[in-house]
Structure 1
Amino acid sequence: MKTVDVVIIGAGPAGSVCGYLLQKAGKDCLLIDHASFPRDKICGGGLTPKAWQLLDQIYPGLEYAYNPITRVRTFIDDEFRCEFSINSPKRYIRIVKRRDFDHLLLQRYVGEGGAFLKGSFARFDEVGGDYPVVVTLRSGQQIACKYLVGADGATSRVRQQIAPDSPHGMLSFEQYQSRSEAAGDTITIAMSRDYVHGYFYHFPNQKEDVVGFCDLVATKQKTSDVCATIGYPLHDHERLHGAYIPRNSVVSPFKRVMLVGDAGGFPNRVSYEGLYYAFATGKNAAEAIISGRDFRQVNRVMYRKKRKEDFLDRVVYSGGGLAVLKALMHFPRVVQYLFNVFV
Structure 2
Amino acid sequence: MSETDSCDVLIVGGGPGGSSCAWGLRESGLDVLILDKATFPRDKVCAGWITPAVAELLELDLKDYSHGHVLQPISRFRTGLIGGSTLHTEYPETVSYGIRRCEFDHYLLQRCGARARLGESFQSLERTADGWLVNGNLSAKMVIGAGGHFCPVAREINDKHAGDHSVVLAQETEVQLTPEQQQRCRVQPDTPELYFCRDFKGYAWCFLKDGYLNVGIGREGEKQLSTARDEFTEYLDREQRVPRDILGKFKGHAYRLYGLQKRTIIDDALLLIGDAAGLASPQSGEGIRPAIESGLMAADVLQNCQPNFDKGQLQIYQDRLLERFGPWPDEPAHSMLPDVFRQFLGRQLMGTQWFTRKVLLNRWFLQQHLPPLVRS
Output the TM-score relative to the length of structure 1.
Answer: 0.85
User: Residue in 1 aligned with 2:109?
Assistant: 106
Deviation at 1:303, TM superposition (A): 5.1
Given residue 14 of structure 1, which amino acid in structure 2 is its aligned partner?
A: G
Distance 1:263 1:317 in 2: 31
Q: Counterpart of 1:301?
A: 323
- C-alpha distance 333-193 of structure 1, shift in aligned 2 (>3 A): closer
Distance 1:167 1:279 in 2: 26
Q: Which runs of 5+ in 2 are unaligned?
A: 306-312, 367-376
Q: Which residue of 1 aligns with 2:58?
A: 58
Deviation at 1:107, TM superposition (A): 0.6
Change (3 A) 1:262 1:341: closer
Aligned match of 2:138 in 143, 153, 161?
143
Please say if 1:189 is aligned against 2:156: no
* 1:159 Cα offset (Å): 1.1
1:283 offset after TM fit, Å?
0.8
* Stretches of structure 1 lacking an aligned partner (at least 5 in a row): none
Displacement of 1:249:
5.4
Deviations along 1:140-196, whole A, 9 cap, x unmatched?
A: 4x222121000011111111121222467332011213322496111111113345x
Aligned to 1:271: 284
Q: RMSD in angstroms over aligned alpha carbons?
A: 2.7
Distance 2:288 2:277 in 1: 13
Cα drift, residue 336 of structure 1: 1.9
Structure 1 residues 323 and 278, CA gap change in structure 2 (3 angstroms):
same
In structure 2, do the counterparts of structure 1 residues 125 and 172 end up closer, same or farther at CA, with 3 Å as the change threshold?
same
Q: 1:306 to 1:233 in 2, by over 3 A?
A: farther
| C-alpha contact 1:167 1:246 (8 A) present in aligned 2 | no
Q: Distance in 1 between matches of 2:91 and 2:335?
A: 27
Are residues 1:121 and 2:116 paired?
no
**Contact in 1 for aligned 2:17/2:294 (Cα 8 Å):** yes
The amino acid across from 1:244 in the alignment is A
What letter corresponds to residue 177 of structure 1 in structure 2?
Answer: V
8 Å Cα contact 1:123/1:158 also seen in 2? no
Relative to structure 1, the CA distance from residue 8 to residue 83 in structure 2 (aligned partners, 3 Å threshold; closer, same or farther) is: same
* 1:95 corresponding residue in structure 2: 98
User: Could you tell me how far 1:237 is from its partner in structure 2?
Assistant: 6.4
Candidates 161, 164, 172, aligned match of 1:165: 161
Give CA-to-partner distance per residue, 1:18-77, whole Å, 9 cap, x none: 011112322210101011110111100122x3xx41342332535433111111111225
Taking the TM superposition and a 5 Å limit, the aligned residue runs for 1:1-343 are 1-47=4-50, 49=51, 52-61=52-61, 63-64=64-65, 65-76=70-81, 78-89=83-94, 92-109=95-112, 112=113, 114-118=114-118, 119-128=120-129, 131-136=130-135, 140=136, 142-163=137-158, 164-166=160-162, 169-179=167-177, 180=179, 181=182, 184-194=189-199, 197-215=201-219, 216-217=221-222, 218-230=224-236, 231=239, 232-235=242-245, 238-247=248-257, 248=261, 250-292=263-305, 293-294=313-314, 295-302=317-324, 304=326, 314=335, 318-338=339-359, 339-342=361-364, 343=366
Once residues 74 and 161 of structure 2 are traced to their aligned partners in structure 1, the CA distance between those partners, rounded to angstroms, is 39
* C-alpha distance 315-341 of structure 1, shift in aligned 2 (>3 A): farther
1:229 and 1:211 mapped to 2: Cα distance?
Answer: 12
Residue 277 (structure 1) shift: 0.6
Shift of 1:317: 9.8
Q: Contact conserved, 1:19 with 1:29, CA < 8 A, in 2?
A: yes
Specify whether residues 53 and 317 from structure 1 end up closer, same or farther in structure 2 by C-alpha distance, changes over 3 A only: farther
Structure 1 CA distance for aligned equivalents of residues 110 and 138 of structure 2 = 22
Contact 1:77 1:194 in 2 (8 A): no
Give distance in 2, aligned partners of 1:243 and 1:221: 16
Q: Give how far 1:262 is off.
A: 0.9
Q: Distance in 2 between matches of 1:193 and 1:291?
A: 48
On the 8 A contact 2:80/2:351 being kept in 1, the answer is: no
Structure 2 SS opposite 1:314: coil
Give the CA deviation at 1:334: 4.7
- Asked whether the 8 Å contact 2:197–2:204 carries over to 1, the reply is no
Query: What is the CA–CA distance in structure 1 between the aligned matches of 2:218 and 2:74, rounded to whole Å?
Result: 21
Secondary structure in structure 2 of the residue aligned to 1:268: coil
Distance (Å, rounded) in 2 between the aligned partners of 1:167 and 1:2: 37
Contact 1:224 1:234 in 2 (8 A): no
